[in-house]
Every structure is written in structure tokens, then in C-alpha cells.
Amino acid sequence: MEVVSEVMAHGGVQGVYRHPSGSCDCDMTFAVYVPEQSSAGPLPVLWYLSGLTCTHANVMEKGEYRRLAAELGLIVVCPDTSPRGDGIADEADNWQLGTGAGFYVDATQQPWSQNYRMYSYIVDELPGIIAAGFPADMERQAIFGHSMGGHGALTIALKNPDRFKSCSAFAPIVNPMTADWSMGALETYLGADRAAWRAHDACALIEDGARFSEFLVDQGDADGFLHDGLRPWLLEEACRKACIPLTLRMRAGYDHSYYFISSFMEDHLRWHADRLG
């Protein structure tokens, strides 16, 4: 693991790291914030998954999580959103596919399947690196994310309910099988058989029997993607039918940006800290 940078912030260390990934068959970059309380022992881990077009850096620079993470004693891990580099499949003129748009799935279709294995990277590979290289209590993990990353957080939590103590999301894509800006990616990565898509769709997973203890979702009602891409009321209906507790908060006047995310970041960190113990 290569140290790209490490700087002190709120008494802790904000680092950026690079490593050769077996899952993605390329070098991958991720960010980790470690509070100073780690000197007394391992700390719980909160995973943040970013949205379309983002890297690890967007939330690191705009998310405003470090002050409270330092206060609460939370390690915050911010992975990249896709493989990157020369020779890796991409559609440069399509922001909804390829670089910056891994959708947290393991692609099964060529040429994407060689590198686009973000589900395995987040669930299997990167946790091993965090456990080995950082003062992390891997028995206390939580996950959240934004937009495409909210989709990733919800689906990963639903498929790994014993690993994560809590899950929340900002403006998640809750039903990517039917959303305008995700159907193309699912078909490209997973093939035309829509049955294969269900394992990467929060609403479909719940319909098919997956369960999680509870969810917290914040959504801006001035979000330009609300009706065509996000549609949180579909998650609300799926959770209601499955008796999964969901707190859905529609935030008046807020859009899809990091101005929205940073406004409610403190709420989410405190919510996760309460459940991580």
C-alpha cells in the first residue's frame, strides 16, 4: 500500500492511499480518516460510497465529516467509484457508464468484467486492507453513501446484514432496474437478463426476501433527479411491505449536491455512532 498523502485534521489523520487491486486488476485509490482516539485502541469503521462521476476526493473535500468523526471516534473510509487507467474499458462521452460509474456491481459482460468488480472490491478486498493497515474494529462497521453510492450502500447492507450495524443514504438510486440513469449500466455490466439485475437493486432485494434492521434516507425535494432517477417512495413502499423500519426525510429546497450532503452529514454520523456503540 502506497501513501499518497497524509495530513492532520481535527487531531486525527486524513490519508489517501493507493494499492494494486486483485478485484479490479488495476491500482485503486481510497481515503481514510483516522481520529486521534485510535491511540487508545481500535475504532468503529464507517464506509462512505460516492456517486456518479466522483472519486474518493469529492466527499473528502466537500463532505465536512472530519470534525464530528473526530469527536465521535469514527474511522471513515472513502473508496473510489470505479477502476481507472489506460487499457480499462470506458465510454468517455457517457457519464453514466465506465470511469466514475462502477455502480458497485461485479460486471459479468466483456470487456467490463475484467476490471469492473466493485462489489467484490468493497465487500471483500478493501476490508482486508483496512483491517491489516489501520486501527479498525471490524466487528463494528456501518455503511452510507450518496446517489449511486446510496444504491451501493443499501444493496451491500441488504446482502451483508451481519457485517453492518447500520446503513443510511443521501438521495439514493433505490430502484436502478427501472431508473433512467442506471438501466443502461446494469444491462451493459450484467447483460440483458433482468433477473440478474435484481441482486443489485434495493427494492428488488427486499421484494426477494433480503432484510436489514433499519434505514435512514435524506432526500432533497428540489433534486433534479428525484422523479426520473431516485424515487425514494419506491423504497418506502418496499420497506413498508417488508416491515423494515425506514426513516425517510424529504428536505425542502435541497438539491443533489454536496451542499445538501454536508448539511446533513452530522445527522448521519451521529445516527451511525449511536448504533455502532
Cβ–Cβ < 8 Å for 153, 172 = yes
Alpha carbon distances (Å) from 121 to 126, 218, 240, 269: 6, 26, 31, 24
Question: Over the Cα atoms of the chain, what is R_g?
Answer: 17
Asked whether residue 180 carries a pLDDT value surpassing 90, the answer given is no
The band of 108, judged by pLDDT with boundaries at 50, 70 and 90, is very high
In the prediction, which pLDDT does 5 show? 98
In the prediction, which pLDDT does 233 show? 98
Mean pLDDT across the stretch 119-143? Answer: 98
Nearest to 19 by CA among 38, 5, 39, 1: 1
Q: pLDDT averaged over the chain? A: 97
Burial of 177 (0-12, 13-18, 19+ CB in 10 A): middle
Instruction: Give dist(CA 134, CA 108) in Å, integer.
Output: 32
Mean pLDDT across the stretch 134-154? Answer: 98
The band of 21, judged by pLDDT with boundaries at 50, 70 and 90, is very high
Asked if omega into 79 is within 30° of 0 (cis), the reply is: no
**Topology of domain 2-276, CATH:** Rossmann fold (3.40.50)
The band of 181, judged by pLDDT with boundaries at 50, 70 and 90, is confident
Asked whether residue 211 carries a pLDDT value surpassing 90, the answer given is yes
Q: Which residues are catalytic?
A: 147, 223, 256
275 φ, ψ to 5°? -90, -20
In the prediction, which pLDDT does 92 show? 87
CA angle 28, 31, 35 (to 5 degrees): 150
